[in-house]
């Protein structure tokens, strides 16, 4: 039984792909009999595979009995496009990591939340321990604050109305007016910083990026464990900003190219 199951499963997958290709050729849908004929499949096999594809969302059955592509395929297409876009900008993130000896991060503002899309780190540039999700820590991270700084007043107010300014470290800003004041008066603008506000011993710097019309942020994390080390990091902020801004321009160009 074990020897036969492999080829049988492979054949089923191949037949399912052939059916999907046939379905995709009919924008207004096609009935099972026509699809079976076009793919040279027995009608019973076509019915069985179509029921499975409908159940999993890859195909949708219309009221008239025809079949069209389902929403699950669109989700896969979108995910694949996102992966292709990220593959374009990973070399830029890796170069930034190597230049600054710091982990590089990319976030996007999607569906009202700030989400991490990519992290490029290494043995000499470890990532921050994301012990609190970025969706709940936008006020305490440079990446989140960069997004908040770029939002218009209404969108920023709406975001803050849904998120508590939790006290993550003794340095976290938990007062909304103070947070807004610092966002507007960042001395490194358009860069913003997180001076151990998310995690003690870590300083982050971030600048805005765009993927088409989607706002995001590009940032790096720097280790600052001791007080003397923290002062060294503070002295490097201008250098970090100077490296981040052109890198952000390259990332925006890469993310905005059509696939």
Q: Measured at the alpha carbon of residue 220, what is the angle toward residues 218 and 223, in degrees to the nearest 5?
A: 165
Do residues 183 and 145 make contact, with C-beta atoms less than 8 angstroms apart? yes
Do residues 237 and 243 make contact, with C-beta atoms less than 8 angstroms apart? no
Q: Residue 240 burial by CB count (10 A; 0-12/13-18/19+): exposed, middle or buried? A: buried
Is the pLDDT at 59 greater than 80? The verdict is: yes
Do residues 194 and 141 make contact, with C-beta atoms less than 8 angstroms apart? yes
- Sorting pLDDT into bands at 50, 70 and 90, what band is 3? very low
Instruction: Give the whole-angstrom CA distance, residue 41 versus residue 33.
Output: 10
**Nearest to 206, CA basis, from 101, 80, 195, 26:** 195
Q: Which residue has the tokens 């201008």?
A: 238
- Retrieve residue 192's tokens: 């913003």
The per-residue pLDDT for 77 is 55
Phi, psi of 105 (to 5 degrees): -130, 145
Which residues, 6 or more positions from 242, have their beta carbon under 8 angstroms from its beta carbon?
none
Do residues 244 and 92 make contact, with C-beta atoms less than 8 angstroms apart? no
Q: Which residue has the tokens 């069209």?
A: 68
Instruction: Give the whole-angstrom CA distance, residue 114 versus residue 136.
Output: 9
pLDDT tens, 65-86?
999 988 887 665 555 565 667 7
The per-residue pLDDT for 226 is 63
- Sorting pLDDT into bands at 50, 70 and 90, what band is 133? confident
pLDDT tens, 230-250?
777 778 899 999 999 999 999
Is the pLDDT at 5 greater than 70? The verdict is: no
pLDDT tens, 194-209?
999 999 999 999 999 9
């Amino acid at each position: 039984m074990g020897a036969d199951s492999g080829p049988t499963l492979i054949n089923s997958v191949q037949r399912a792909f052939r059916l999907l290709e046939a379905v995709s050729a009919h924008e207004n849908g096609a009935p099972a009999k026509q699809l079976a004929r076009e793919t040279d499949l027995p009608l019973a096999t076509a019915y069985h595979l179509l029921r499975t594809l409908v159940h999993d969302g890859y195909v949708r059955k219309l009221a008239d009995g025809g079949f069209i592509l389902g929403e699950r395929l669109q989700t896969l297409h979108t995910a694949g496009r996102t992966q292709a876009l990220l593959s374009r900008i990973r070399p830029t993130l890796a170069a930034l990591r190597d230049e600054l000896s710091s982990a590089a991060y990319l976030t996007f503002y999607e569906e009202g939340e700030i989400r991490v899309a990519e992290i490029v780190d290494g043995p000499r540039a470890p990532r921050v321990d994301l012990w609190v999700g970025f969706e709940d820590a936008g006020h305490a991270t440079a990446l989140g604050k960069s997004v908040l700084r770029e939002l218009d007043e209404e969108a920023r107010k709406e975001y803050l109305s849904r998120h508590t300014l939790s006290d993550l470290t003794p340095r976290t800003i938990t007062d909304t007016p103070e947070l807004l004041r610092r966002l507007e008066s960042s001395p490194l603008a358009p860069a913003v910083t997180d001076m151990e506000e998310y995690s003690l011993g870590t300083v982050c710097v971030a600048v805005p990026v765009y993927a088409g019309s989607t706002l995001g942020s590009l940032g790096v994390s720097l280790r600052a464990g001791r007080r003397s080390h923290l002062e060294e990091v503070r002295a490097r902020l201008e250098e970090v900003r100077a490296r981040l801004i052109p890198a952000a321009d390259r990332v925006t160009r890469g993310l905005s190219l059509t696939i």
